[in-house]
Amino acid sequence: MNIHTHFQSFQEKQSKQFFDFQRNQFQEFLALFPDRDFKTSLESKATTVNPEPAHDPVQVIKPKKKKVKRSANAFAFFTKKNRASIKSANPDATFGEMASLVGSAWKALTEDEKKPFVKLAEEAKAQLKAECEDE
């Protein structure tokens, strides 16, 4: 028997003795409180140990990207103007129902009725474009 296998068998024997000792200690502890159910509370608190760190020790700070600004579309201007009146006509409507009501009201408009909102959207787009060019 070489030294490696001897040490390995010794280590296994020591581990078995230690775990047997722990099991006996735990059984004695449980015997002190027969009316309590420790097994379920211990199982629920069991956690796994992650030996690897959750993040790199060196933190790299990246510069934030500039977000592309977008202008409101014609529907957004229509919603801003008409949502309150639709809500007052349907006070019990949920958020989703309100979205459906506003959407169906938008779809019911003719092209001529939509023109003022389309014009507002085009103006907002031009203004935003001018602001972006200035920066």
Closest CA to 122 of 69, 77, 67, 66: 77
pTM of the model: 0.49
Question: Which top CATH class is 74-134?
Answer: mainly alpha
Q: Which amino acid is at 9?
A: S
- pLDDT at position 48: 55
Give the C-alpha separation, 122 to 114, whole Å: 12
Helix (H), strand (E) counts: the chain: 5, 0
Asked if residues 126 and 72 have their Cβ atoms less than 8 Å apart, the reply is no
45-55 pLDDT per residue, tens: 555 555 565 66
Q: Identify the pLDDT of residue 33.
A: 78
The answer to whether 86 touches 98, Cβ cutoff 8 Å, is yes
CA distance 87 to 92: 8
Per-residue pLDDT tens over the stretch 17-41: 888 888 888 888 878 877 777 665 5
Contact 60, 68 (CB under 8 A): no
DSSP H or E segment with residue 111 = helix 111-134
pLDDT in tens, 113-132: 999 999 999 999 998 888 87
* Count of positions (residues) in the chain: 135
| Residue 30 near residue 40 (C-beta atoms within 8 A) | no
**Domain residue extents for the chain:** 3-44, 74-134
